[in-house]
Each structure stands twice: as C-alpha cells, then as structure tokens.
Amino acid sequence: MMNQFNRASEQLSILAELSDSNLALKNTYQALINAEKSRLQVFNGSRAPIIFGQPGEWISYYLQALVSFKENNILRAKKEIETGASLAPAMGGSINDKPFLWLADGDVRLGPLLEIIIKGNYYWLPFTRIKKLIIDDFEDLRDLVWCPCHLTLENQGEMIAFIPSRYPLLSYPGFDIEQDPPVNDADSHARHCLASGTSWQAPEENFYIGQGLRRFITDNGEYALSEVNTIILDQGPT
C-alpha cells in the first residue's frame, strides 16, 4: 500500500518458506510487484513501455512525451501528447451501460491508452484493441493497488489481467513529492495510498497529472475506476 515493494517481496518470501500452500500467492503478488517496478521505470523515463499489439503511429507521440517529461520539457511533452491525441482514433461504446463517443484515461500521459498487467508483464494497451472490459468490484486491499479484470480483445481473445488502481506517485518539474503539498500532507498521502480519491496537478494549462485513484473520462462524464463495472468498445461485427 505504501509502495514499499522490496519489503513486500521479502515478506512474500517468508510466507512461501512457511508453507508450500503460500507459493501460489507469493508468485502472483511477486509478479505484480515486478510489473509495478517496471511501471515506475516507465514513468520516470528510464525505460519505454511495452505496447500490447501492433502500435499505431499516434502512440509514438506519447512515447516521445515520456522522454520530454524526463528532460523537464513539459511544454514539448504537452504538444506531443496533443498531436498523439489528435491522431488517435476515437471509439464509441458504453461504460456501465452509459453510451459515449470517446473514452480516455484522465491522466494526459495516458489518454487513449490503458495501463494493464498481463501474466506479470506491464503494458500500455490502446483502447482501440479492447472489445470488452469487466472490472471486478473492489473487495480487499490488493484491489486498491491492482484491480483484477476480465479482458476481451478485438480479436475475441480473452484473458484475466490487472489494472493499476493508482497513478504512479513521482516527482516532476514544479512538483516535488518530498516537499510540495498535497502529498507531503499526511492525510493526502494516505488518500493516495488507499486510492480513496483523486487529485490533479497541472504543470501546464490543460496538462493534468493524476494522483490517487485512476479515473476515466468520456464525453458524457467522469468515472473513478472503483465505480466502473463494464466498458464495451464498438468494434463492429465480428
């Protein structure tokens, strides 16, 4: 919960040593922790994300924006994201049976891309590749970090996956997680760790970076991840 992943790995190893019955639990959570570490490396600019499937040309602008972000060039990152967003195909569908013309992550760094963990690997998955996404109800503390989901791809492939429930907590130009509010405030930091709310930072106008619980936006409204049950994308007849 507090992003102490090395300590969590040590505790998982101890559990596995105590009983073989804990091995499956240990392997599942260790894979999620490893994926989370890869995720943080993506957002701090030390590695590129793996795109699930054949990436469209528009995705390259989001990848370039990560580099610009690492280089503290927020204005350039904003322009690259705006270009990528303008080229990304908009897809209609429904969220909790409510129709929309387009769907995006509330964090501009992601927009038409979904963060997802599949078989222990961290990916960026374009919404255009998704046919249906069923998100499990939040039931325990794990769901506040990684929420399980049932994914149906455009080619009808089905799989169990996990969605990171919270946005990565990282410093960026104009915002230092060690010094600046609201994260330095104990209550705000707790809200982030417990995914009990979402706050937004804007180092540039209309450039929103999320903290806390993930949120989706559509032309008809905004939805916290914990409120979403089903997302269906209009992929046409199959």
**Residue at 27 is within a domain:** no
Q: Provide the phi-psi class of 55: left if phi over 0, else alpha when psi is between -120 and 50, else beta.
A: beta
Range of the domain at 108: 49-233
Residue 221 belongs to a domain: yes
Is there a domain that residue 43 lies in? no
Count of domains for the chain: 1
Q: Is residue 163 part of a domain?
A: yes
**Is residue 156, in this structure, part of any structural domain at all?**
yes
Total-model pTM: 0.84
Burial (0-12, 13-18, 19+ Cβ within 10 Å), 146 = buried
Q: For the chain, which ranges sit under pLDDT 70? A: 1-26, 170-192, 236-238
User: Does residue 53 lie in a domain region?
Assistant: yes
DSSP label of 141: G
Residue 114 lies in a domain: yes
Q: What confidence score (pLDDT) does residue 178 get?
A: 45
Whether 164 is covered by a domain: the verdict is yes
- Token pair for residue 46? 């030390």
51-99 confidence digits (pLDDT tens): 998 889 999 999 999 999 889 899 999 999 999 999 999 899 999 999 9
